[in-house]
Each structure stands twice: as structure tokens, then as C-alpha cells.
């Protein structure tokens, strides 16, 4: 039986029901499926690190998946993200007859809705962790509170890159009272010279441990006049089961800065 569903991009996806084999090309989505319907997952990227005991076929990275290996796994559905995965790779999967579900996640409310719809496309019922995430973020889903901090949020160095416009991580921080100074940048992840970053009127620098692994000895020294909040990149940038604890984890890190 073939059912047709609409993914986050508005594309119609023809899905053979019931779904029995899923390949995920995004770490967040991998964790979401693995903790909801683990028997479905047959393939994931090399970067899919959660859950730690995940035992599936690896298909290289999000930006360079082994398309032929994915096709060879005969998935009923491949899961992707508009930002994480390249359109050319997804088109190649579609051309080989693999249905591809693409998520578009730029805000926390989008994440919660998108994950529920994606899991439904896999034939899974809403998991307990999704309800826990909604509860954990209750009171902050309608609109961000007034900002308490004006921050710059580097995500890479050599060259320095920061969170820019329309990012999920920026929205999460806004709901915790952290205003991203580059939220109106033309790019989602602009490259900004360090002298410009240190010359802003920011009163906080937020340093996640992924994608660049900022640490207490690698990052804060570049911003000697700013308090630094070292935060969990998984809880800041992943949209999945980590959302159930993200508010508490990130708030504690911000309060320690």
C-alpha cells in the first residue's frame, strides 16, 4: 500500500506502508527514530553518535553520503534536512526510487511539529520524549522573552563563523533570553573577522562544543573582555530527544558564565 504525505518542503512523498526500513542522514533525526522505533533504523551517517550503542550500517557523512550504499539498504524512507544535506544527493536517492522525507527546522516550535510529522510518516506514534520536550519548554513556545544578554555565538574558528539569520540554535537561545547580535545577518553562518567580533557591544560570548569543539582553553581567550558560556552543542543545535533536557542544560551553562 502506498500512502502520500507532504514533507516540510511541501513535496509529496510516496511511502510504502508499513515502513520497515529507514535510513537517516541527520544525527538529530537518527536519535529521534532510534529512541522511538529502533527496529526501523537500518542506516545512519558516521556522525550519528546517539544513542551511543547505535548499531546500524554507516553511510559516511551528511554532506557526502555514500548514495549507493544507502540505495543498497533498500530503505522505505530516507530522512534528511534542508540545511544538513545536499539537494544533489537527495535527488540521486529519489532517482533510484528511494522516498526522501526532508525536514525544515529553524525554530523550536517548528522542531516539535516537524518531528511529530516525520515520525508519523515512519508509522510511529508520538513518543514520550516529545511530550517531555513540549513540557520542558512550556511558557517559551509562543514568543521569546525579553533578552537578558546580547551575545555573539561562534560555531567555528579559522575562519571565525557565527550564528546568523534564521537558525534553530539562534531561536533556542532567544527563548532563553539571549539575543544573537548577528540574527539579522545576510547569511545563516557568516564569516566574521575576530576584530569585528571583539568590537561589538556584546555582553556574552556563547561557545558550543560542536560543530567546532570549543573548550575552556580553546575559544574564551579570544574574547578576554567577555564572559564566556561554554554550552553543549548537542543541546543547542540538535532537534530530537535532547530537547527534553536542553532548556535545563543550557540555562545552567548560561548562569555559570
List pLDDT tens digits, range 121-178. Answer: 999 999 999 999 999 999 999 988 999 999 999 999 999 999 999 999 999 999 999 9
pLDDT score for 216: 97
**7 in the same domain as 114:** yes
Cα separation of 149 and 239, whole Å? 23
Residues 8 and 100 in one domain: yes
DSSP string, 215-231: BTTBSGGG-TTS-EEEE
Separation between Cα atoms, residue 219 and residue 36, nearest integer Å: 36
Is residue 143 in some structural domain? no
Same domain, yes or no, for 104 and 187? no
d(CA 215, CA 220): 8
This prediction's pTM: 0.94
pLDDT at 1 over 80: no
Q: Is residue 139 part of a domain?
A: no
> Which residue range(s) make up the domain with 215?
149-256
Distances (CA, A) of 130 to 52, 119, 125, 239: 20, 11, 10, 10
Please state the three-class secondary structure of 92-131 as a single string: HHHHCCCCEEEECCCCHHHHHHHHHHHHHHCCCCCCHHHH
CATH code for the domain of 22? 3.40.50.1980
Amino acid at each position: 500500500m502506498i500512502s502520500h504525505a507532504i514533507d516540510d518542503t511541501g513535496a509529496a512523498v510516496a511511502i510504502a506502508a508499513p515502513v520497515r526500513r529507514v535510513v537517516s542522514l541527520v544525527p538529530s533525526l537518527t536519535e529521534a527514530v532510534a529512541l522511538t522505533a529502533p527496529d526501523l533504523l537500518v542506516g545512519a551517517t558516521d556522525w550519528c553518535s546517539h544513542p551511543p550503542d547505535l548499531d546500524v550500517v554507516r553511510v559516511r557523512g551528511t554532506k557526502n553520503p555514500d548514495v549507493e550504499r544507502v540505495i543498497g539498504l533498500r530503505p522505505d524512507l530516507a530522512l534528511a534536512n534542508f540545511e544538513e544535506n545536499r539537494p544533489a544527493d537527495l535527488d540521486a536517492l529519489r532517482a533510484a526510487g528511494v522516498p526522501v522525507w526532508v525536514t525544515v527546522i529553524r525554530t523550536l516550535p517548528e522542531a516539535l511539529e516537524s518531528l511529530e510529522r516525520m515520525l508519523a510518516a515512519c508509522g510511529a506514534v508520538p513518543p514520550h520524549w516529545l511530550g517531555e520536550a513540549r513540557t520542558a519548554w512550556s511558557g517559551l513556545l509562543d514568543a521569546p522573552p525579553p533578552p537578558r544578554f546580547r551575545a555573539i555565538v561562534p560555531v567555528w574558528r579559522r575562519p571565525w563563523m557565527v550564528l546568523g539569520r534564521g537558525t534553530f540554535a539562534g531561536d533556542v537561545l532567544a527563548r532563553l533570553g539571549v539575543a544573537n547580535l548577528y540574527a539579522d545577518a545576510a547569511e545563516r553562518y557568516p564569516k566574521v573577522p575576530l576584530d569585528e567580533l571583539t568590537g561589538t557591544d556584546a555582553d556574552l560570548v556563547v561557545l558550543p562544543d560542536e560543530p567546532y569543539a570549543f573548550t575552556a582553553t580553546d575559544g574564551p581567550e579570544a574574547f578576554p573582555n567577555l564572559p564566556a558560556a561554554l554550552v553543549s552543542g548537542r543541546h543547542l543545535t540538535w532537534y530530537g530527544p535532547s530537547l527534553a533536557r536542553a532548556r535545563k542544560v543550557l540555562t545552567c551553562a548560561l548562569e555559570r558564565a
